Structure 1
Amino acid sequence: MDKIGGAQKHVEALAIKLKQDAHEVTIVTGLYDASLWRLQEEKIDVISIPAMQRAIHLKKDLQTFWQLRAAFKKIKPDIIAAHSSKAGAIGRVVGSLLRIPTVFTAHSWSFTEGVPRKKKLMYSRIEKSVQPLTAKIITVSEYDRKLALTQRIAPAHKMLTIHNGIEQIEKRAAHHREKEEHPLIVMVARFEVPKRQDLLLEALAELSDVPWRLQFIGDGSLRPNLEKFVADKKLTERVAFLGNQLDVTALLEESQLFVLLSDWEGLPISIIEAMRAGLPIIATNVGGINELVSDNENGFLINRDDKSLLKKRLRQLLLDETLRQKMGDVSERHFLRNFTFTPMYQKTLFVYEQAVSKLAKKGD
């Protein structure tokens, strides 16, 4: 949790609501930047284990195993809720050894389409090996549930889809939205694989005859190269790099178009935030994105690396204010019907309670 991402936001929101509902919550994470999160003000305990990182590293993974084991023995939790592949795998092994039920939430499988073949095979084997140690697997999209079934990761009865959900808010600035002479595009994403800010910049650099401005929200190791690209193409007047932002709501409400390009995805919270703000969306048709964006309804879907279609769709929306408004309205209605926080939270809590009571019955 040293960077802002969808899975991290999901964990934070769940933890805060659980704490407010009088559950005891401790977050165990890898690297941790307290300034990015509201956990301290909500008095939620956080244990940082720097050895826990995304990449496989035998020595650090063993350190993580022993440190997680020590942490869980001290906390004595009723349940472990594991998120992301690495924490999910090691967390489930430790949970099984300590006889603590573990629920794993897959935000996007590490063997999903777009991931290099060797990595796919390795992560698929890892997931199959730790599946028997799992009380329940939550997938954040139907795409991911079906992918796991196809790959025979787990039996159907062990998995269920709970779509990501976020809190509703009162809209503040929507009435200013269409007064912009140069429509403002926004992309909220880490500057890391699998995000494709580079593709968006390449497409926009070839649309110099169209009025547009662009804001990138997020940070990461790929940012400096893209800042250089912007300077080389003399686009600094049009493109702003805003870095990490704790609250993207106001920035989204001041925008006219949301774009998210990725090589793979689960069910991006950034798109749900854009839907809540009533924005039309252009996104890559990967993972569960087509469960959020219906092509030609609340935005446009493009295939991975299809710069030609991306340029066409950008031009279409940038030049047609009526279409932006129409698609944005559909986005907002879709959010209110399907992706609000309370139903997601209630379904998730029910899964946790079931896992705890099942183990209690076994103990009897």
Structure 2
Amino acid sequence: MARLKIVQLITRMDKVGGAQKHVEALAIQLKQDGHEVTVVTGSYQPSLWCLQEQQIPVITIPTLQRAIHVTKDFQTFWQLRAIFKRIQPDVVATHSSKAGVIGRVVGSLLRIPTVFTAHSWSFTEGVPRKKKLLYHRVEKSVQPFTTKIITVSEYDRELALLEKVAPAHKLLTIHNGIDRIERSKATEKTFVEQPIIIMVARFEVPKRQDILLKALAELTDLSWHLQLIGDGSLRPALEDFVVQHGLTNRVTFLGNQLDVHSYLEKSHVFVLLSDWEGLPISIIEAMRVGLPIVATNVGGVNELIADKDNGFLVGREEYELLKKRLRTLLMDTILRQQMGNASERRYLQDFTFIPMYQKTVTVYQQAVSELVKKGD
């Protein structure tokens, strides 16, 4: 296998999210396999990641940010051009909308093959209409600069085809995958007086911790404790909600946690409510430790969860059904165990890291050889 020089480009690495975890895992494995990898990002928080100890160079471009800002985006363009010219990568792998747009344009102008991983389209179902139209237009306009597009769910690949964002030959679905971890004996979910519900997500749009809290506030006749991992601008309002509804003893805000796995191992039900999604890594992490899942049926979520098999799917507007599903799982230890076992089986069969990684590297290599062919 040819050794590649790769740039992994993502808008931000100062928050923990699925796309960021994906970039870190890819970068580490690429380095271990002898490829030369550099991570380029807008804002970076070293304490959240293991890139330093793996001696993976990280370059920050402070003007690279999520929001559209003509001056800063123009500055980012020129800085990125200088970085690419200096590194001379064989391929640029871009992640997230802003980095995806600027990175592909710069890469293409320098005749560097570009791969864009769509962790969730910004024009997906659930995104506000105005934003949707804008991003759809932008995505369509940068398509000619793109060598290959990886979608993390079949839902997103089909959406791209439906919205005529890219031709079929450029699109490929590679489901997210994460490393196996040795299960500790403590993970046997035996009967407990107070089941622990856990949600791992940023307190930002499109995540909906608010709906989960509202539903649980109406299920206080049952025994449960909720742990919320993550941080963000929506957190203070929800902390107020918890106080106002007398739930302080039942809800714990844990903030960002590096070792999410150990919290998942001690939990009994995993919940992820969102207005839109790609293929959430947080759900795969919960499946890995054998948890039953309750999640909003958006994006590629139903490619992870088979309703009534390894968890329950609820529609965005199905609030009463959400309460019913939570009640069922909180009251039925055996069902929790059965669904949890089904989750672990699905994880082991379809969502481990190495197959995902190998398919991704193959796409990088295809992108490189396509450019070589064009140059003949």
Q: Indicate the TM-score class for this superposition, using the shorter chain for normalisation.
A: over 0.9
1:99 matches 2:111:
yes
- Structure 2 SS opposite 1:31: strand
- Structure 2 SS opposite 1:99: coil
Shift of 1:122: 0.7
- Structure 2 SS opposite 1:358: helix
Bigger mean CA deviation after superposition, 242-251 or 135-144? 242-251
Partner of 2:314: 302
Partner of 1:138: 150
1:11 matches 2:30:
no
Task: Tell me, in whole angstroms, the C-alpha distance in 1 between the residues paired with 2:110 and 2:26.
Answer: 24
Is the contact made by 1:280 and 1:327 (CA closer than 8 Å) also made in structure 2?
Answer: yes
Q: How does 1:198-209 map to 2 (within 5 A)?
A: 198-209=210-221
> Given residue 252 of structure 1, which amino acid in structure 2 is its aligned partner?
L
> Given residue 51 of structure 2, which amino acid in structure 1 is its aligned partner?
L
Change (3 A) 1:201 1:173: farther
Is the contact made by 2:191 and 2:333 (CA closer than 8 Å) also made in structure 1?
Answer: no
Task: Tell me, in whole angstroms, the C-alpha distance in 1 between the residues paired with 2:174 and 2:135.
Answer: 22
Shift of 1:363: 2.7
- Structure 2 SS opposite 1:258: strand
1:267 matches 2:279:
yes
Partner deviation per Cα, 1:300-335 (whole Å, 9 max, x = no partner)? 000113221111000000000000000000000000
1:187 matches 2:199:
yes
Task: Tell me, in whole angstroms, the C-alpha distance in 2 between the residues paired with 1:90 and 1:322.
Answer: 50
Partner of 1:52: 64
Partner deviation per Cα, 1:217-261 (whole Å, 9 max, x = no partner)? 111111111111111111111111111111211110100000000
Shift of 1:210: 0.6
Partner of 1:341: 353
Task: Tell me, in whole angstroms, the C-alpha distance in 2 between the residues paired with 1:78 and 1:322.
Answer: 52
Task: Tell me, in whole angstroms, the C-alpha distance in 2 between the residues paired with 1:307 and 1:330.
Answer: 25
Is the contact made by 2:187 and 2:266 (CA closer than 8 Å) also made in structure 1?
Answer: no
Partner deviation per Cα, 1:43-95 (whole Å, 9 max, x = no partner)? 00001112111121112111111111111111111100000111000000100
Shift of 1:181: 1.0
Scaled by the length of structure 2, what TM-score is found?
0.95
Partner deviation per Cα, 1:194-229 (whole Å, 9 max, x = no partner)? 000000000000101010000001111111111111
- Structure 1 SS opposite 2:189: helix
Task: Tell me, in whole angstroms, the C-alpha distance in 1 between the residues paired with 2:92 and 2:75.
Answer: 19
Task: Tell me, in whole angstroms, the C-alpha distance in 2 between the residues paired with 1:214 and 1:337.
Answer: 29
Partner of 1:210: 222
Partner of 2:122: 110
Is the contact made by 1:199 and 1:305 (CA closer than 8 Å) also made in structure 2?
Answer: no
- Structure 2 SS opposite 1:41: coil
Give structure 1 regions of 4+ aligned residues with deviation exceeding 3 angstroms. Answer: 173-176
Scaled by the length of structure 1, what TM-score is found?
0.99
Partner of 1:152: 164
Partner deviation per Cα, 1:20-47 (whole Å, 9 max, x = no partner)? 0011100001110000000000000001
Partner of 1:320: 332
| Number of corresponding residues | 364
Is the contact made by 1:188 and 1:218 (CA closer than 8 Å) also made in structure 2?
Answer: yes
Task: Tell me, in whole angstroms, the C-alpha distance in 2 between the residues paired with 1:249 and 1:192.
Answer: 22
Q: How does 1:81-100 map to 2 (within 5 A)?
A: 81-100=93-112
Q: Gaps spanning 5+ residues in structure 2: where? A: 1-12
Is the contact made by 2:293 and 2:312 (CA closer than 8 Å) also made in structure 1?
Answer: yes
Q: How does 1:153-168 map to 2 (within 5 A)?
A: 153-168=165-180
Shift of 1:174: 4.2
Task: Tell me, in whole angstroms, the C-alpha distance in 2 between the residues paired with 1:161 and 1:169.
Answer: 25
1:29 matches 2:41:
yes
Partner deviation per Cα, 1:262-317 (whole Å, 9 max, x = no partner)? 00000000000000010000000000000001110000000113221111000000
> Given residue 35 of structure 1, which amino acid in structure 2 is its aligned partner?
S
Task: Tell me, in whole angstroms, the C-alpha distance in 2 between the residues paired with 1:295 and 1:19.
Answer: 38
1:74 matches 2:92:
no
Is the contact made by 2:189 and 2:337 (CA closer than 8 Å) also made in structure 1?
Answer: no
Partner of 2:74: 62
Partner of 2:209: 197
- Structure 2 SS opposite 1:10: helix
- Structure 1 SS opposite 2:44: coil
Task: Tell me, in whole angstroms, the C-alpha distance in 2 between the residues paired with 1:173 and 1:217.
Answer: 23
Q: Gaps spanning 5+ residues in structure 1: where? A: none
Is the contact made by 1:203 and 1:310 (CA closer than 8 Å) also made in structure 2?
Answer: yes
Task: Tell me, in whole angstroms, the C-alpha distance in 2 between the residues paired with 1:226 and 1:58.
Answer: 34
Task: Tell me, in whole angstroms, the C-alpha distance in 2 between the residues paired with 1:125 and 1:80.
Answer: 22
